Chains A and B, each alone.
Chain A
Amino acid sequence: MATGSSSGYTPLLLRIDAGGWVLLLVLIAAGIGVPYANQMLPQESPWHVPTWLVALLGKYLCFALLALSVDLVWGFCGILSLGHGAFFALGGYAMGMHLMRQIGDRGVYGNPDLPDFMVFLNWDSLPWYWYGFDQFWFAMLMVMLVPGMLAFVFGWFAFRSRVTGVYLSIITQAMTYALLLAFFRNDMGFGGNNGLTDFKDILGFSLQADATRCALFAASAVALGVGYLLCRFIVTSKAGRVLVAVRDAESRTRFLGYRVEHYKLFVFTVSAVLAGIAGALYVPQVGIINPGEFSPANSIEIVVWVAVGGRGTLYGAALGGVLVNYGKTYFTAAMPELWLFLLGGLFIAVTLLLPRGIVGTLQLWGGVLRRRFSSGDRKRGSHGAVAPAPAGGGE
């Protein structure tokens, strides 16, 4: 058995821990199975997956990817970003702008160039920052570039001046709040409060078609899988261990000669790009992107998903993203007047009782059991180089 990545190069597939394998297998199974069950099985079949469920699951997968991106920075590098919703939303807007341009002259005012809301505001030409979005490749580039650039510039300033801990959290919050206000403005040219909506098709396929939904679902599964592998690659590399070193003892890392800000900047930017991709996949599946996604409350909620799932475990974060959102779906319908009590109670309970999150706690229990049955065997626990974040960690 390979003794972890510390002893030489390990192929990526061997660096995946058990939970990660489960995640990947579930994703492969769902990525193929769900579209199959929706498209091929008759409606009467007990295994038929209705379209609304496909859309819902696709949305969860996007949230899982978003949670993954937050876990990468928070769980492994100790950067608590309260502004990740901004990167998600920017990716979403880039996609939304493409879909908007795809509407062409099918809008209510029939203007081939201008989206309806611009016609409405008496704009006579497309603003420059909308150029190029009619091309799919350009939009996809922007999906990654815009959040990435924002994260890079923001991080470059913040990490260079060594803004850390709570201060960093608060200014990331200020960032997303400022963007929220900016995108609310109709004069910005992003549709104001209504945002972008009423999309027709993507790459020529109708967004209302079941097959398109299945394809988007599969794409989300693939994105989550690839995103997971990328994160796993990073955290199991030596760079990943440097990140954890930064999280646990930043100045020690510095005195060892590592440029902490470069590592932070790298991981923050990668994470922002992942969040942007999640946003881009989210938008065609829910059919709307609006400034509400920038609200600080949303970003805090993402952090909560990660905490619930288990910080510093990657697959745990993905699980948290799915679970909390599933809970939201379920409880907002099952007990619309009480669900906030449940959700709030859940957050408190998790922080008090399961400080390592669901996955972290299960690992802990598993560890206790294992030690009881095979005392003395003190080999390294998980395959990855990284132990879960300390319960009290953060700064």
Chain B
Amino acid sequence: MTTSTRDKLSTSILYVNAVTVSFDGFKALNDLSFTIDPGEMRAVIGPNGAGKTTMMDVVTGKTRPTSGDILFNGRVDLTRLDEASIARLGIGRKFQRPTVFENHTVLDNLELALAGSRTVKHSLFARLSGEARDRLDELLTIIALTDRRHQRAGALSHGEKQWLEIGMLLAQDPDLLFLDEPAAGMTDAETEQTAELLKGIAGRHSIVVVEHDMAFVRSLGVRVTVLHEGAVLAEGSMDAVQQNPRVIDVYLGR
């Protein structure tokens, strides 16, 4: 192990090294490596089939890698854990299609996500502390759904659901957040608000945003990783990446 990798290991919140995932011979991820630093916000872009979703699946425990290492906080091996354990470690994930509990109220959605014991026994007798209630109020304010707290989540608009889902992630209070196309299906105004929201929470949390919308990524103003055919094609600022001839090739060449 070189000094630099050891260095990265100890300092990075997420360390992905040489991860390969193959489905029946097709390599969805091919020797993928990257790291995320604590408090960093990172955007990941790439054409369809570049492996963005698979990358998140692997990190969050949905898919087991065929080979490679994934370390969280420099010591926890994520490849051995299931989704629930990884979530409990402090890694949150937002799906591409907003996924909230449609039959629960907005408040219940947030409450279920709120950090705390997840055991059956605890939840059977759980009661809400004043502290938790304050935290929920705070979250409702952040995602601007205070008025609709008693409404069924299923009745929210698409954008509101996106926010609610982000709110649920925040309620989990994770160290690392994966957001899959948080701005998809939003109006321009909503997109802008979302960008502001994310910028507001960055720093306290490390965030990985996977996005198609270049304008949105640009508005985030963060370091960008470009995936292609399951591997990192380029990494750097949005401007630098957009200048990269290989990136241009991939995006325009076909």
A positions within 8 Å CB-CB of B: 3-4, 6-9, 233-234, 237-239, 241-242, 244-245, 248-249, 251-260, 262-263, 266, 378-380, 385-387, 389-390
Contact = CB atoms under 8 A, between A and B. Distances in A.
B123 A255 contact: no
B87 A256 contact: yes
Q: Interface of chain B, helix or strand or loop or mixed?
A: mixed
Contacts of B88: 257
A255 B101 contact: no
Nearest to B119: A262
B172 A257 contact: yes
Contact of A252 (B99, B123, B127): B99
B118 A378 contact: no
18 contacts: A6-B128, A8-B127, A238-B124, A239-B123, A239-B124, A241-B111, A242-B112, A245-B112, A249-B102, A251-B62, A254-B82, A255-B83, A256-B112, A256-B172, A378-B151, A387-B104, A387-B152, A389-B103
Given A234-B124, A255-B60, A245 B101 contact: yes
B108 A241 contact: yes
Contacts of B126: 237-239
A229 to B, nearest CB: 14
A322 to B, nearest CB: 27
Contacts of A242: 112, 123
Contacts of A245: 101, 104, 112
B95 interface: yes
Contact of A257 (B84, B105, B107, B108): B84
A197 to B, nearest CB: 40
Given A6-B108, A244-B101, A385-B104, A255 B93 contact: yes
Interface string B75-116: 000000011100110001101000111111101100111000
B26 interface: no
Nearest to A390: B103
A244 B103 contact: yes
- Sorting the interface of chain B by its residue count into under 10, 10 to 19, 20 to 34 or 35 or more gives 35 or more
B125 interface: yes
A238 B107 CA distance: 12
Contacts of A266: 120
B119 to A, nearest CB: 7
B133 A252 contact: no
Contact of A254 (B84, B102, B168): B84
A254 B104 contact: no
The 10 closest A-B pairs by CB, nearest first: A257-B87, A9-B127, A239-B123, A238-B123, A238-B126, A254-B83, A257-B88, A387-B103, A252-B99, A239-B124
Contacts of B111: 6, 238, 241
B6 interface: no
B27 interface: no
Nearest to A239: B123
Interface of B: 60, 62, 82-84, 87-88, 92-93, 95, 99-105, 107-108, 111-113, 118-120, 123-128, 133, 150-152, 168, 172
A164 B92 CA distance: 24
A258 B99 contact: no
Given A7-B133, A248-B101, 4 more contacts: A4-B105, A237-B126, A239-B123, A380-B150
Contacts of A249: 99-102
A378 B101 CA distance: 19
A256 B120 contact: no
Contacts of B108: 6, 241, 385
Contacts of A8: 127-128, 133
Contacts of B87: 254-257
Contact of B150 (A254, A379, A386): A379
Given A234-B124, A255-B83, A256-B87, A380 B105 contact: yes
Contacts of B150: 3, 379-380
B28 to A, nearest CB: 18
A237 B84 contact: no
Contacts of B152: 387
A238 B105 CA distance: 13
Contacts of B123: 237-239, 242
A266 B100 CA distance: 23
Contacts of B92: 255
Given A241-B112, A251-B62, A252-B95, A258 B101 contact: no
Contacts of B107: 6
A248 B133 CA distance: 25
A379 B107 CA distance: 13
Which of A241, A248, A257, A262 is the most central at the interface, judged by chain B CB atoms within 10 Å of its CB? Answer: A257
Given A255-B83, A266-B120, A248 B103 contact: yes
A255 B92 CA distance: 7
B128 A7 contact: yes
Nearest to A267: B120
Contacts of A260: 84
A351 to B, nearest CB: 20
Nearest to A237: B124
Nearest to B95: A252
Contact of B120 (A9, A262, A380): A262
A380 B151 CA distance: 7
